[in-house]
Amino acid sequence: MRICMVSDFFYPSIGGVEEHVYNLSQMLLSLGHKIVVLTHAYGDCSGIRYVTGYLKVYYLPIKVCYNQCILPTAVCNVPMLRAVLLRERVEVVHGHSAFSALAHEALMVGSLLGLKTVFTDHSLFGFADLSAALTNNLLEVNLGMVNHAICVSHIGKENTVLRARVAKNRVSVIPNAVDTALFTPDPQKRPSNDIINIVVASRLVYRKGIDLLAGIIPRFKNTPNINFIIVGDGPKRDLLEEIREKTNMQERVQMVGAVEHNKVRDFLVRGHIFLNTSLTEAYCMAIVEAASCGLQVVSTSVGGIPEVLPKSLILLAEPEIDAIYAAILIAIDRHRKSSFKVSPPVANGHLPSEANGKVKRRRRRKADTPTSPTQLPASSAPPADQNSPAEPVMCPYRCNELVETLYNWEDVALRTVKVYDRVSNERPFTTSELVFAVWQHGSWFLVFFVVAHFLMRLLELWRPRKRVELAQDVQRTAS
């Protein structure tokens, strides 16, 4: 199957959507599918590039308007998108992120070409503010032209169904995953004394709850053995630096700044507790990566976070300073009372070869019977009493193994392929059906759609499909 992934967010930009598109594409390539990625140019990174695994990426020469997104014109990029989709003989167009204008435009062009379309929503939105209302209206129009939608959590599905007014049977839930071979524990990197490191890794923006974090840090001013490692950058960084100066905690609050994704583990393995203060999340990749590195997670109970990790790996709290502070104190008390021992010694954070063999055998068995995040074996995920400081801290390597049984990219890719197979058996939308869908969900967008439709007809006369030069496929070599 020939699939085109489309999003404004892709490498060299760093983020959850970028990682999802890249890892899913790599796994689909390994399953024998042909994958190309469409995104806009990033500075000097433009044109056609090949990344790891001969993944073909089109960095289209389109200017960025705001926050790494192109200007949503609906018609200006139609000739370019049509040329790429026909040149690559694409069968399924898969757009990512409701914020991505390029994804919405490519889905519209794909529908007009008679291709099958799939959309993955990675975020939660409200209903009250102006920006959410505009985004929801645009999403409602585009999902009317899409064969199937995917959400990364059940709460995300409910949110999408409500704000886009789409039928529930046209929305599936496929969670994100994490490379547990990359995010492995290494307890030897932790401080050898009684110091406990609390790690925060996120964009320093309002919706990530940085204002809550700014209220929590001063509470540990008189607790000298508690340090903070803050990874990430954003407009709220000045606030955290101001709090650090006012509390004279310069030596105990480390502001790392933005780092590449493959270097995040180097900071996670130095910590004991991972703190997430998000105000809204559909699915938080950071807490899964932290749990895979053996950290105990303390997080706000918002959005889809409660359904991501079992209770043995996470402490949930309301998005309030007092509640989060109390949860951190419980996590600290648990670590001080924990008695697990790591043996035999490990090197570079990897399990011994015998343990690795067991993990691989377990992965092969799991491929036949995938485990649902909500149905965990009782022996591997004992229920936790969140209000009990006596609840033991799980061994970091057991955490890594448990996360591996829950989330891996092979399972995500296989479930996504099932969605592709489903939409492939559906008949393509007729032009009248697309017009009715657009008019029903957003009559204001009908003008742009009609212009795009006639532009596609003109392009078909000027440069018919049979005259479009087909791209040559690069054969993957066996490694």
What would the pLDDT profile of 163-189 be if each residue is shown by its tens digit? 888 889 999 999 988 888 889 999 999
CATH number belonging to domain 2-177+413-467: 3.40.50.2000
Given this structure, which CATH class describes domain 187-344+380-407?
A: alpha beta
Q: What are 332-351's pLDDT values in tens digits? A: 999 888 755 554 444 444 44
Tell me if domain 2-177+413-467 and domain 187-344+380-407 are identical in fold: yes
Of the pLDDT bands very low, low, confident and very high (cuts 50, 70, 90), residue 364 is very low
Residues 6+ apart with CB under 8 A from 116: 91, 92, 93, 110, 147, 420, 423, 424, 426, 428
The two tokens of residue 31 are 């399953």
Classified as helix, coil or strand, 305 is helix
Report in angstroms the alpha-carbon separations of 424 from 252, 392, 434. Answer: 55, 49, 18
The two tokens of residue 184 are 């492995």
Check residue 303 and give its pLDDT. Answer: 87
Q: What are 377-401's pLDDT values in tens digits? A: 333 333 444 555 556 788 899 999 9
* Domain assignments of the chain as residue spans, ordered by start: 2-177+413-467, 187-344+380-407
C-beta of residue 8 within 8 angstroms of C-beta of residue 69: yes
Q: Tell me how many helices (H) and strands (E) the chain has.
A: 15, 16
Considering the entire predicted model, what is its pTM? 0.79
End-to-end CA distance of the chain: 22
Residues 6+ apart with CB under 8 A from 241: 255
Q: What are 280-289's pLDDT values in tens digits? A: 888 888 999 9
Distance separating alpha carbons of residues 95 and 24, to the nearest angstrom = 13
Task: State the chain's mean pLDDT as an integer.
Answer: 85
**Residue 96: pLDDT over 60:** yes
Classified as helix, coil or strand, 47 is strand
Q: What are phi and psi of 252, to 5 degrees?
A: -115, -10
What are the residue ranges of helices labelled H in 113-166?
130-143, 154-164
Q: What are 17-60's pLDDT values in tens digits? A: 888 999 999 999 999 999 999 999 998 889 999 998 889 999 99
The two tokens of residue 41 are 């140019």
Concatenate the DSSP letters of all residues of 239-263 into one string.
HHHHHHHHTT-TTTEEEEE---GGG
Q: What is the DSSP letter of 270?
A: T
| Percent of the chain whose pLDDT exceeds 90 | 54
Of the pLDDT bands very low, low, confident and very high (cuts 50, 70, 90), residue 127 is low
Distance separating alpha carbons of residues 467 and 404, to the nearest angstrom = 48
